[in-house]
Amino acid sequence: MLLLKIVGITSAILALALLALWLYLERALLPKKSTRDFFAFSDMSFIQKLEGYLYGVRSDLYLRPAKWPWAVRNLEGSTANEYHGKVITRQDAGKIIKLDRSSNFQASDKVIPFPVARKVILEGNPPLAVMDCPCRAQKKDACEPRDVCMVVGDPFVSLVLGHRSGNARRITTEEALRILEQEEERGHIHTAWFKTVMHDRFYTICNCCTCCCLGMASYYRNVPRITHSGYRPVTDRDECTECGCCEDICPFKAVNCLEGVPVIDDTKCMGCGLCISHCPVEAVTLELAPERGVPLDLDSMAELES
């Protein structure tokens, strides 16, 4: 009898806690339309949808365990397969932002070398929102500005706007392109992110710094959460002035200037393109690196599909 009472009290406390959490997230007893649309978007399991919902409406809290030592030791490697990003250039990020047609691709393993979470499903002129970076939210002295994570397409845009997740606000194509340009000027890379519980697909473009980004931190710990862009930089030695800007800006420490001459370590380079945009004499260009992967270039992917 005592055991039954304990179970009953525990269940009641748990139910009240879940109700309190629900009211905190929804600000109402009934779910918002954006919540209903998110849960109805695919045939994922309810548990997966619930996790995706929690991630979408409070990604700052969702990512907090990524800073806990025990979680880093025991969970980080196992989650990389289901939550991963691809380095993309500003030009390819811009193509996603400016998309004027419907896109429905199951990216090949040459583009996204993971067996799950690699769909690109977007309507033409996809809705866009920007919100505070949940990685930067983990630090008091984080990089500024913080509103640099761009959510692309529904149901994700409607979900974060409906709950004002991370101070989310709707933005235009022009604003999104300006954010990409400004973040690149700050020396931050662009990444496209995929997640199983976000309906197994692409949902956001992040602008990542080396000091705050949890995905970059995983990369430095040799956890394969971020994959190569599919491009490599090539330096024109006749044009190069040996200024060292490429070495200074590289977030992957892939460039070493030996007696002033830049030498690129292909094993470290992820093809982000910062060395190109920051070269004052335009001595660096990008070429395809098929042995490292295929770019997330929607134009090229559309040609392959046709």
Per-residue pLDDT tens over the stretch 190-213: 999 999 999 999 999 999 999 999
Give the percent of the chain with pLDDT over 70. 96
Q: What is the pLDDT of residues 69-98, one digit of tens each?
A: 877 777 777 788 899 999 999 999 999 999
Spatial neighbors of 171 by CB under 8 A, at least 6 apart, are: 128, 129, 130, 150, 179
Return d(Cα 297, Cα 67) in angstroms, integer: 32
Return d(Cα 130, Cα 123) in angstroms, integer: 18
Whether the pLDDT of residue 305 is over 90: the answer is no
SS3 139: coil
Tell me what the pLDDT averaged over the chain comes to.
Answer: 90
SS3 198: coil
Q: What is the pLDDT of residues 209-228, one digit of tens each?
A: 999 999 999 988 888 899 99
Q: Report, as an integer, the average pLDDT of 141-165.
A: 94
**CATH number at 231-288:** 3.30.70.20
pLDDT of residue 133: 94
Q: Report, as an integer, the average pLDDT of 24-47.
A: 90
Q: What is the pLDDT of residues 155-199, one digit of tens each?
A: 999 999 999 888 999 999 999 999 999 999 999 999 999 999 999
- Per domain, the residue ranges of the chain are 29-227, 231-288
